[in-house]
Amino acid sequence: MNEAWIAPEYDEQLEKLEIELLLEGLFRAYGYDFRHYAFPSLRRRIWHRIGLERLNTVSALQERVLHDREAFDRLLSDLVIPVTELFRDPGLFAYIREKLAPALGRLPFARIWHAGCASGEEAYSMAILLEEEGILSKSRIYATDINHAALKTARDRLVPCDRYEQYRKNYERSGGKADFALYVDGDPEDGFTLKRRLNERIVFAEHNLVTDRSFNEFHAIFCRNVMIYFNPELRNRVHRLLYESLADGGFLILGGKESISFTKYEDKYETWNDEFRVYRKIG
Ligand SMILES: C[S@@+](CC[C@H](N)C(=O)[O-])C[C@H]1O[C@@H](n2cnc3c(N)ncnc32)[C@H](O)[C@@H]1O
């Protein structure tokens, strides 16, 4: 099985039809709706899985994943890659510390939602920041994703050991006020976990932005590097969910390559910081 696998020549229309049928099948059999995810990246990931399964056609993959739950789980983990970091984009977290944390601190109680949290690093970054700003005890952080393996890593507070140095530097660049080692248990050489107290104010849960409804009203919503995988129609649908889930004056934080512009909701926010994609709900 070592020889290189070569994707077969494919008729474009037929490929599109088979991918649509596969996505319809995933939705009807398992309830995961990828039908409106951006096509080029879906297509790439599907072919990657076809190669790993030593199959030749999209239909063969469909047959396998519909009959074999484990094969479906393998495909799912290709379709929802949980790439993330602690204090990813340190400049954003420095900005949050300076500008958003004081606004959140003035509230009697702050609810923050990390939608598409992957293995939880963004939520933990926020917990550390809020603790240092003295407002963690009156905050609740909700961190959700559709990838249950990633959520388990998040609940276990596991952080890959090879990223310790990078995370320490990110933390310092984000304006961290303490020694990063204080937030960590274990030996960075062997793998480490974040301190147990950090997830006391975090609720991790499965939530699908495409098929599930809002579950609370939030003062800040992070939805970073999630909607890049969605097509424009789905992006608008998810923006509606986020908008309806935000309190008046609440903050929406998108990923560095995302924007509220060209969505149906662009008039409903004022831009607080264009570089860091921070928006405030105005009406
Ligand atoms: C690239 S990660 C981003 C993680 C984190 N927000 C960050 O920026 O570091 C994208 C995450 O979005 C999640 N995701 C994809 N589709 C989703 C959906 N429909 N509902 C909830 N989460 C979803 C994936 O499972 C993945 O963990």
> Which residue minimizes the CA distance to atom 11 of ligand 1?
116
Give the Cα separation of 174 and 191 in Å (integer).
Answer: 23
Per the CB < 8 A criterion, the answer to whether 230 and 240 are in contact is: no
| DSSP state for residue 219 in the 8-state scheme | E
Q: Which strands make up the sheet holding 246-254, listed edge to edge?
A: 202-206, 139-145, 110-115, 218-223, 246-254, 278-281, 269-273
Please write the tens of the pLDDT for every residue from 214-261: 999 999 999 999 999 999 999 999 999 999 999 999 999 999 999 999
Residues touching ligand 1 (Cβ under 6 Å) are 80, 82-84, 88, 116-118, 122, 145-147, 150, 208-210, 224-226, 229, 255
> Which residue minimizes the CA distance to atom 13 of ligand 1?
116
Q: Which of 45, 81, 145 to mutate to test the pocket of ligand 1 (most atoms within 8 A of CB)?
A: 145
Q: pLDDT over 70 for what percent of the chain?
A: 96
| DSSP state for residue 11 in the 8-state scheme | -
The separation between the first and the last C-alpha atoms of the chain, rounded to the nearest angstrom, is 58
Tell me how far the alpha carbon of residue 118 lies from the centroid of ligand 1, in angstroms: 5
Note the pLDDT of residue 1.
47
Note the pLDDT of residue 10.
78
**20-34, 188-202, 206-220, 261-275: which has the minimum mean pLDDT?**
188-202
Question: Would you state the CATH architecture of domain 90-281?
Answer: 3-Layer(aba) Sandwich (3.40)
Q: Where along the chain do its domains lie?
A: 12-79, 90-281
Helix, strand, coil percent content, the chain, rounded in steps of 5: 45, 20, 35
Mean pLDDT of all residues in the chain?
94
Q: Name 230's bridge partners.
A: 37
Note the pLDDT of residue 188.
66
**Two structure tokens written together for 163:** 């990223």
What's phi and psi for 115, nearest 5 deg?
Answer: -90, 120
